[in-house]
Amino acid sequence: MGPELSGTITPLSGVLRGRRAFITGGGSGIGLALAQLLARDGWQLGLLDREPERLLTASRELGSSGAAVIHTYLVDVTDEAAFRAAVADFADRAGGLELMINNAGVAVAGDLVQTTAADWRWALDINVVGVAIGCRAALPFLTKADAGCVLNIASAAAFASSSQMAAYNASKAAVVSLTETLAQELEGTAVRAAVAMPGFIPTRLLETARAPPDALAAAHRLMDASHYPAARAAADMLAACAAGRLYIVLPPAYVHLWRLKRFLPGVFTSLLSRMRRRALAERTRR
């Protein structure tokens, strides 16, 4: 990957000079925030989402932000044929592809006994298989570029396996493992892989979440208390990609938790248990 160009919004625009990106879940949240930054640097963008109104609104916003070209695709990431066709169509129209961002995802909450097999399959199909399909669809085009990157969006839940989140935690941990494997398989090529593990960020993720009322209310409280907006998370992710980092843990305060889990997993698990007991005690006092 080449040196950064001056005068760009994100340093990744100086590294991936072709400036062509495909983003799943691009109609809102982190996906849209990533697209907005790239648009300001004049990227050609392919946006995939399941919500037509979100896609239409996002396309209008990005067009006024400076995106060179915007192509939208109303596709579910679990539809392999349609997903692969969308990526191929964008690469053909844009003349190539340098950046694939697998951002689309869903949330499931509730303890292990409550969470149905159907909800497990729903989460894994979208959060894991959808990411794998996206990687497979993009790699033939990425490997033709002078430099390329696959950015998979996981979650801090991948390492902070808190209670009542088994399906979601497992799906995001799988995305980390998938990306680690892909990074090894890409050695010797001009393509890099990265996985982002953000903490709670105010997005629309919980709008489609499958969860009992108490678990959903707890998730809303944590999201509402976040002081780390999607725009800042997007900027940090793209900067980390430009730096060639495999693991992107954010916000920065979460990095020490990531390190603690990796080097002292037993201590980390005990810490999670204490935090959970404290949260339950506070809820009881209200």
- Closest residue by Cα to residue 18 from 149, 195, 185: 149
Task: Give catalytic status of residue 168 as yes or no.
Answer: yes
- In whole angstroms, give the CA distance from residue 48 to residue 61: 15
CA distance 49 to 27: 6
Tokens of 119: 């909800």
Give the residue among 125, 126, 86 at the shortest CA–CA distance from 105: 126
Residues ≥6 apart with Cβ < 8 Å to 59: 47, 70, 72
Token duo for residue 281 = 């005690």
Q: Which of 131, 125, 156 is nearest to 223 (CA)?
A: 156
Active-site hit among 168, 228, 247, 254: 168
- The residue to which tokens 């303890």 are assigned: 111
Q: What is the CA radius of gyration of the chain?
A: 19
Q: Which of 283, 268, 246 is nearest to 161 (CA)?
A: 268
Q: Round to whole Å and give the CA distance between 185 and 97.
A: 19
Q: Cα–Cα distance between 229 and 223 in angstroms, integer?
A: 10
Phi–psi pair at 149, nearest 5 degrees: -150, 140
Cβ–Cβ < 8 Å for 128, 178: yes
Task: Identify the three-state secondary structure at position 102.
Answer: strand
Q: Which residues are known catalytic residues?
A: 168
